[in-house]
Every structure is written in C-alpha cells, then in structure tokens.
Chain A
C-alpha cells in the first residue's frame, strides 16, 4: 500500500516539503553540535598528544600543564631530566592573550624539544625571538605581524588544528619568548614534559599522565559539553515532534480514507505499513537534507566543526528510528478508525 501513502505525500507535497526542510534544519543542527563536541574532544587529544610526552611533571595542586597558574623554576627541568626512568625532559608553559577581541592560547615550547609541532604547516617553525607559529583560525598569513603582550611577532608559519579550550586558537612561541613577554623575563615554566616514567619525584613536584592532563583540560568544558549534549537531545525531540505532528495530522485528515480502506478489505497491517512508510520517507529525506545542510553550514560557524562520519551514519539510523517512533501516534489513530465511518453521507 506504499502507493497510497506515496500519492498522499504528493497530494500534500507543500506540507511535506516544509516538514522535510524543518526536520532537515533541526537534524543538521544536531550534526553540527556533534561536530563541535567532537572537535572539543579531538582538540584536547591533539594538543596533549602534540607534545609526544609520556607524562608530565607539574607543581603541587590539582591543575595540569595547560591550566596551571602555579609555576615552577626553570631549574626543575634539569632536575627532572636527571631522575631515574626519565629519558628526556623539556619545559612548556601556557598563557592566555586576546587577539582580535578573542581569547587565544599561547604555548611556549623548547625549540627542538618535546612540544615542537611535527604536523603539517605553512611556512616554517619559529627559530628565535620575535617569531610565532599561528593557528590558521586567526586568519594571519605568513609574513604578517601579530601583537602578543604588546610585542610584535612575525608570523613565520601557520598550522591547522592547534586549538583547545573550546576551540580557542593557539599561538606557539619559543618558551623564552613567553617568559620574556608574559613573565617579565623570569625563568619559570608551567610544566615539564617527559619521556619515560620517573620512579619517584622530589617533594614539591607532581606527576600526571597524558590521560590526567586531558581530563584536566576537559574539566573546564564539562558543563559546556553537557549543555551541548542536552541541546542535542532536545533537537532530536523537536525533529521527532515535527515528523510526528505531520504524520499524526495526516492520519487525522485521512480518517475517512482509512475507514474506506478497511471497509473494502485493506488490512490494518497494510494501512500501518503505508503510514510508517510516509514517516520513514520524511525522516530519511530530512536526514539526507540535514547532511547537505551540515556540510554547507558547518564552515560558517566561528569554531571548527569536526562532524565524524559516524555521526552521519548514526543520523540516518536514528532518523529511521525517529520516523518509526514519530509514526506511532498516527498508527494508533489509524488502527482505531472504525470502518463504519465509511458509511454515511458526509
């Protein structure tokens, strides 16, 4: 009986198209929110993994290398490097700055040490004072000047995927430059990135694994991520409600049709299958529309949207489920229709 449902959709095509567009928009927002969530999770893994460290040594307390406000003397780097089980120790420091009215991250690393970017970039890596590698999100090109802490830095390279702290772009500087600009030249470091694993640490130092560092970075974003997850769930409900209301309205308007179909021997199962077909078609078309919209709208968002392929596949699966779920109210209405309604003069 799919033909009857298909013809009915054609008959009410304006409403159907509006429903598909509405549901597509909502579905596309879920994809984009998925993409934002995925980016936030990915960027933490990338920034921590980018140091290629096995672990970290930080000051006492609970903060990690990227969130620490308690600094260590630079001499700690050599002390840690000499500990048994430690193959290599390099300093790092993180700071915050505003550029173009946006919060950005500033990371200082040892030239040639752990933390020096290894990924693809345009231009070259900083080799000395006054040079910076800048996140592409900031829009600088190689050769341009970026002002950090009131000091001019030449952009010698740009790279992709350097953000963290909920999509905030990052500028990488030699650590001495960070100390000069942000710490008035004091020989302090935020943490020591190490290769290997120290058997024990001197008092006043704390060891963190990469997982602990990542968890620490997530800590400040948990509420935001939870909000995104709740918003996403609400959007799914809205999409389901759109599909359900269209299918239910259609079922209400077709009560006489269903009565006639039953009276002439069309089984309940066939009627239900036809209605479910309408709902599924609406949901799947909305899912496809959402995929197109997400690709189109994603780049217009101020922060990167890394929607995983799995989300698109999930969307199709979930939209089928949503379509079936949304059709339940309509199906119940259709099944309850009394074929005796077909008789009578109205």
Chain B
C-alpha cells in the first residue's frame, strides 16, 4: 500500500519551441489501497502525471510524495531503487520486449534488480498464473493477443511487488472482451490493498474507481458578457489558463504572445479594435495557448461560448475558426454584439 501526496505540481515541457504546461498547480491526495482514475481528453496531462509519479519526468515545480519519499528529488541509485521497488508501470502500448518470452518479460525487472535468473523465472511463472497466462509463459509477445500482452505487462509491473501501480490507458488497444479481463484484474489488485492510479479517457472504467480525478480543464459555462478595462501591459489571460470568454477589442489593442521554452515570449499578433480573439479555449474546453496583454489602455468585451455561437451562427462558426485570429470576419462579430 502507498499514499501519494501531490502539491502545487507544475510540469512544463517544450513542444515546437514553445513552453507547454499540461499540469499547472495540481494538488492531489491518493490514500492507501485506493484505485484512482485520472480522466480526461488526450493532451490534458494524464500520461504526463503518470510519468512524474513514476519518477521518469521531473516537474518544474511542486512536490510528489510517495510513502514519505520525495520523488522529485530522487537521483542515481535512489531513483533506480524507487522505480524498481516503489512503483510498477503498465504502459499503454504494453511495451513488452519482442525477443523475450512472456515469462522473461515478467522476470525483467527482477533480473535488473539482481535477482537470480532461476528465482526470477519461477516468480514470473507464478505471476503469469495469477493473470491466467500460465500456459503462455513460453510464448513471445507476437504470439499473444492484445489482452494477453496487457496482462503480461501487468504481471511485469507486479514483479517486485511495488505498493503503487500506475496504468496508462490500460484499455486503449483492447476489444471489449479483453477490456473485461483487464478491469477484473485491476480491481482485484486494488482489493488486495495496492494503490493504483489509472490514466484513461475511457469512461467505461468509471465504476471501477474509488475516486475519479478530472484533469481536463473545466469548460465553465460562462454566461452573458463582460467588459474589462486594462492598463498598458496588464494581462487579460495567460497561456495555460482555462478558457472562459471570447473577447472583442473595443479600444486600444491586445498583444497575443506565446511563451517559448527558453523563457522568452514571442509576439504572435496584435489585435486591433473591432476584432475578436481567444475563441478556441472556451468553445472546445481547452487551455489558453497564448497570453493576452493590453497594448496601451485597452477595453475588451467578453462573450460566453454560447453567446458567441448564437451571434455567429452555427454555419459560420467552423468557417471563422478556420480563418483564425485577426481576419475581417471579426468586424461582423463586433457588429452583431
């Protein structure tokens, strides 16, 4: 069993030269023996969070504490020991080694930890029996179905009896029959008292969980309009914020900038009066992909996603989105408002 405490976690990485923060300011507590689902759409940071829990990815800020071990400060031998004994990982793509048999794949963490080969293979066979694959011990991954490979991957994750088990999209490559077997297995492992964190976007797994953590930004159903007055340089919203309103510049100007991975900012465009910006985040429930700052004293009007839709009309919406920020269409939006 393991307790997991995450505080003020910020994970940042570089993508195409820009700084991306899939996790920003996350707090999370997972108790002993809990089965927690990290739910959210692709790109919301589920796998990133699992990587950090597995001590594979180092966060930019915050702490991850597993049973008293501060994971973010581990290095060298301590890091290797943590990966071996504290946490087991079931990867989305199974990631079994093709050259090894099922038993050898399961024995791999033990061999890496210095367990003698005979002992490791015996224990691997026991684990394969436990996941109902005792008769497939000598098969190579290529000879196993997706569900069987996933069960071998789970057996491998359990090889050194880690108290914390992480599973990344465990049902992603499985048909519904195979999903059933994997779900039963995960539930039974949790029932034994093991702490399990599962990242998924598959809502069929909801009944499995003791707790569900929603990682997608909440699409706040904002209503009405708002008018905001900004002084020069003041931020309207920042990159990574949740999307709320679609804005139209009434007077002054808005500079849209994107944070680069070298801590500098890059100006994307400047929005002049009568033009709209920031529509994708509220419409699609995404985080802001840029920072908006006033250039001079500026006034903007904010419209909720539903109001923006009704102003534009469903037919024109996809066309406007395709045209992007700063096209002539925004004047009509302004006129509609």
Contacts and interface: CB of A to CB of B under 8 A. Distances in A.
A264 B112 contact: yes
B112 A266 contact: yes
Contacts of A263: 54, 56, 83, 89, 91
Contacts of A260: 91, 95, 97
Size category, A interface? 20 to 34
Interface residues on B, range: 35 or more
A4 B100 CA distance: 7
Given A267-B112, A344-B93, A3 B104 contact: yes
A11 interface: yes
Nearest to B91: A342
Nearest to A345: B92
A342 B153 CA distance: 12
A266 B109 contact: yes
B56 A339 contact: yes
Given A263-B56, A340-B57, A342-B91, A7 B99 contact: yes
Interface in B103-127: 104, 108-109, 111-113, 117
Interface string A1-24: 101100110111000000000000
B169 interface: yes
A46 interface: no
B98 interface: yes
Contacts of A346: 93
B27 interface: no
A138 to B, nearest CB: 56
Interface in A88-125: none
Interface in B147-176: 156-157, 160, 168-169, 172-173
B99 A8 contact: yes
B100 to A, nearest CB: 5
B84 A264 contact: yes
Interface of A: 1, 3-4, 7-8, 10-12, 256-257, 259-267, 270, 339-340, 342-346
User: Which A-B residue pairs are the 5 nearest by beta carbons?
Assistant: A265-B84, A266-B112, A11-B99, A265-B83, A7-B99
Interface of B: 47, 50-51, 54, 56-57, 80-85, 88-89, 91-93, 95, 97-100, 104, 108-109, 111-113, 117, 156-157, 160, 168-169, 172-173
8 contacts: A4-B111, A7-B100, A11-B99, A12-B99, A257-B97, A263-B54, A263-B91, A345-B172
